[in-house]
Amino acid sequence: MRTLIFGAGNLILTDEGFGVHCINHLEENYVFPPEVELYDGGTLGIMVTHKIEEADRVILVDTVETAGNPGEVFRFEKEDIMLNRLPVKLSPHQIGIQEMLFISEMRGACPDRISLLGVIPSSLDPGSDLSPVLSECLPRVAGLIVDELRSLGHEVHARN
Amino acid sequence: MSKRITIDPITRIEGHLRIDVEVNGGQVAKAWSSAQMWRGIETILKGRDPQDAWSYAQRFCGVCTTVHAISSIRSVENALNVEVPLNAQYIRNIMIAQHSVQDHIVHFYHLSALDWVDIVSALKADPKKASSIAQSLSDWPGNSEKEFKAVQDKLKAFVASGQLGIFASGYWGHPAMKLPPEVNLIAVAHYLKALDYQRRASQAVAILGGKNPHVQNLVVGGVATAVNMENIATLNMERIAFLRTLMEETREFVQKVYYPDLVAIASFYKEWFKYGAGVTNYLAVPEFAEDTRNTKFGLPGGTIYGGDLGTFKAITTHQDAALIQGVTEGVAHAWYEGSDSLHPWEGETKPQYTDFQENGKYTWCKSPRYNGKPMQVGPPAQVMAAYATGHPKVKKLVDDAAAKLGIGPKELHSTMGRLFCRGVRAHVMADYSLEYLDKLVANIGKGDSTYANHTEIPDGEYKGVGFHEAPRGALSHWIVIEKKKIKNYQAVVPSTWNASPRDENGVAGPYEACLVGNPVAQPDKPLEVLRTIHSFDPCIACAVHTIDPAGKEITKVKVL
């Protein structure tokens, strides 16, 4: 089973880059088996649909703008997205993750298992580092992903 | 009586662009283009090592990552007068061309087609008839009745379950939609298929760049793509063969699907070759460096004024002094301090937000001007420059399609003309990709395996500019280096040229000018405005894409 960890975001807008920081953090701190791919998807949306389609299981990491405090983590599953259980479109862009998955579904190529881990940002100002709140939150989210990968049967080891 | 319409945001992809139009008697009388997000990300480059600039700069935009990397690395090389080995130029050229192909395919199908294609109408199509129409356009093997029937069935199931998803924001049944159901079905089927081919282009960039998005293989003075035909760890014969296959398949899609679809759709919307000209001054920079000093190029650049190809003046090198001195950016109507027009090396980015003041400051976008004049940049500029110089490939594509559609080069100054020029450019880019691959192999075959000139950043002060003709048009990164660090950095991006607000003389930018005179049949469904603005592939380069499940309405059309 091929599992893709897809980090979305922009590295030069502080917390906006959370998904990518998360990928970097995982690479620096853990060793993954070949069937797990860590992917810095940047902000490409539809132009990287194929990465999603090539996997059997996808965990997306991104920021979410919703009521709550910076650092709070939310989790959505594929059906939340596909059945419009979220109140509105997921992205302020007209082609965001939700649309990407719809197109993929229409192509008959969308994996069944997709989860989205979203964290509330504290800052979206220009800057290449995470805010203190999200820096603190990073190992926790990475830990959630590692636990999930292990429960799926992937052998993930801490890097010494 | 005049009506005011605000569309916010108007883009289908990155960026937060707001367009306001005043409609009078069914036509746009005035328009305002407003970037709704602060674009001051250059500030984070100040104080950093110039060797790293490209790596940060490619995060300027969420979509065109490669183009900012190229422009940025060229700015440092220009500042330090560094030569770039031929192998590195060819490798960069292939990445540039493949990135363009990917960008144009996605623009046509996923970002603009839904302005012209009525998805719901495709449900009524006869798949057999659709297949015979598609087969009359080209001999592409994917156009069988079975394929079209399968897509239609899938579409029916989606509509039945109430999940129109991506298509839900379209203007179905709008009186300005004119394609027959079969052509709509063909377009929907190719919309879904197009993703497979943009993927191949993306893979090609990744093979050379090490990674896509965000290539990893640039260094000041060349590329870090080691070339050794015998070594499995480098760019070798096996990789080159794979690259060639990917690029040939994508080229076939462009030649046999994208381009014929574009011409077929345009033939039903010929009136759109009359609307949306706007600013008919054009600026393109030469692209595809073919020597080590950026003085010889595969595609020409130049300026055209007032839509008259007779005024064409070539720009032959990236060191062109008139080009370098001619660019300024004004802030008279933008949310920045002051009202002066500054050269990018002296450029400042000091935010001063007011609200939307239609006669005052109303956007985060500056006003780039060339010798004081607004310029339209993008595929039409490059295609017209190539046409003016008699570039055989471009001339043939323009003349052949013109004969088919009954238009002349003058009709390229229009909404449909912009879409058409993008299609021409995609064609040319797909061809150039393979040409530069051949040149790369031939050059390596001659025994040249150099791919970078090692460069140390010297002490002292240096200024440079990196020009690049990107998918959306002329891009330039301007750098000032002092004591081995970046002292100032400004990116003048294609969308800033095109989305420019009025300047200090009150002269409108291309988005604003191109809407004036356009028809608007239904003010609450301003499809015509979307068509014209989307023809530029608007993208205001900020790349914030925070997910917002909280419940506010995302796209608003407000009619006052």
Q: Does B171 touch chain A (CB under 8 A)?
A: no
CB B87 within 8 A of CB B488: no
User: Who among B41, B169, B554 is closest to A12 (CB)?
Assistant: B41
Handedness of CA B534, B537, B541, B547 (dihedral sign): positive
pLDDT above 80: residue B255: yes
CB contact under 8 A, B545 and A10: yes
| Rg of chain A over all Cα atoms, to the nearest angstrom | 15
Q: Does B553 touch chain A (CB under 8 A)?
A: yes
- Cα–Cα distance for residue pair A120/A68, rounded to 1 Å: 7
CB contact under 8 A, B158 and A106: yes
> What residues of B form the annotated binding site for Ni(2+)?
61, 64, 539
Give A125 to chain B, closest Cα distance, Å. Answer: 9
> What residues of B form the annotated binding site for Mg(2+)?
42, 545
Specify which residues B351 forms β-bridges with: B336
Q: Does A10 touch chain B (CB under 8 A)?
A: yes
- Element (DSSP H or E) covering residue B7: strand B2-8
pLDDT above 80: residue A15: yes
Neighbour count for residue B313 (Cβ, 10 Å): 11
CB B58 within 8 A of CB B95: no
Tokens 């080891």 map to which residue? A157
Residue B52 lies in a domain: no
Catalytic positions of B: 14, 61, 64, 68, 472, 495, 539, 542
Helix, strand, or coil (residue A135): helix
- Mutual angle of helices B86-106 and B65-80, in 10-degree steps: 150
Max Cα–Cα distance, chain B, nearest Å: 74
CB B123 within 8 A of CB B182: no
CB contact under 8 A, A44 and B62: yes
- Cα–Cα distance for residue pair B184/B382, rounded to 1 Å: 30
Each residue's pLDDT tens digit, B158-203: 888 776 655 666 677 788 899 999 999 999 999 999 999 999 999 9
When pLDDT is averaged across residues B17-29 and rounded to a whole number, the result is: 91
- Please identify among residues 177-206 of chain B the ones whose CB lies closer than 8 Å to any CB of chain A: 192, 195-196, 198-199, 202
pLDDT above 50: residue B544: no
When pLDDT is averaged across residues B89-105 and rounded to a whole number, the result is: 97
CATH code of the domain containing B115: 1.10.645.10
- Please identify among residues 117-156 of chain A the ones whose CB lies closer than 8 Å to any CB of chain B: 118, 121, 124, 126-128
Q: According to the model, what pLDDT value does residue B11 have?
A: 58
Residue B33 lies in a domain: no
Identify the band that residue B381 occupies on the pLDDT scale cut at 50, 70 and 90. very high
Main-chain dihedrals φ then ψ at residue B294, nearest 5 degrees: 55, 45
Residue B381 lies in a domain: no
Which of A41-45, A120-124, B51-55 tops mean pLDDT? B51-55
- Cα–Cα distance for residue pair B538/B151, rounded to 1 Å: 29
DSSP B370: E
CB contact under 8 A, B545 and A9: yes
Of A33-37, A96-100, B65-69, B547-551, the least confident:
B547-551
Tokens 């035909």 map to which residue? B229
Q: According to the model, what pLDDT value does residue B550 have?
A: 43
CB contact under 8 A, A66 and B550: yes
Cα distance between the two ends of chain B: 12
Q: According to the model, what pLDDT value does residue B36 have?
A: 75
Each residue's pLDDT tens digit, A58-103: 999 988 877 789 999 988 888 877 766 554 334 333 456 777 888 8
- Our count of domains for chain B comes to 1
Of B36-45, B141-150, B208-217, B331-340, the least confident:
B36-45
- Cα–Cα distance for residue pair A2/B14, rounded to 1 Å: 29
Q: What is the CATH number of domain A3-158?
A: 3.40.50.1450
Q: Which residues contact B157 (CB under 8 A, 6 or more apart)?
A: none
- From chain A, pick out residues whose CB is under 8 angstroms from the CB of B56: 12, 128
- Cα–Cα distance for residue pair B421/B380, rounded to 1 Å: 5
Each residue's pLDDT tens digit, B364-375: 889 999 999 999
CB B11 within 8 A of CB B17: yes
Q: Where are the domains of chain A?
A: 3-158
Structure token pair of residue A18: 């959370």
CB B8 within 8 A of CB A92: no
Q: According to the model, what pLDDT value does residue B1 have?
A: 67
- Cα–Cα distance for residue pair A119/A68, rounded to 1 Å: 10
- Cα–Cα distance for residue pair A115/A73, rounded to 1 Å: 13
Q: According to the model, what pLDDT value does residue B167 have?
A: 63
- From chain A, pick out residues whose CB is under 8 angstroms from the CB of B106: 46-47
Query: Which ipTM did the prediction report?
Result: 0.86
| Rg of chain B over all Cα atoms, to the nearest angstrom | 23
CB contact under 8 A, A87 and B550: yes
- Containing structural domain, residue B241: 85-212+231-272+414-454
- Cα–Cα distance for residue pair B368/B166, rounded to 1 Å: 34
When pLDDT is averaged across residues B511-515 and rounded to a whole number, the result is: 97
Which of A84-88, B390-394, B404-408 tops mean pLDDT? B390-394
- From chain A, pick out residues whose CB is under 8 angstroms from the CB of B192: 103, 106-107
Give B311 to chain A, closest Cα distance, Å. Answer: 38
pTM metric for this prediction: 0.93
Structure token pair of residue B342: 């500054």
CB contact under 8 A, B547 and A94: no
- From chain B, pick out residues whose CB is under 8 angstroms from the CB of A40: 211, 213-214
Share of chain B above pLDDT 70, in %: 92
- From chain B, pick out residues whose CB is under 8 angstroms from the CB of A41: 213
Closest Cα to residue B338, out of B367, B373, B318? B367
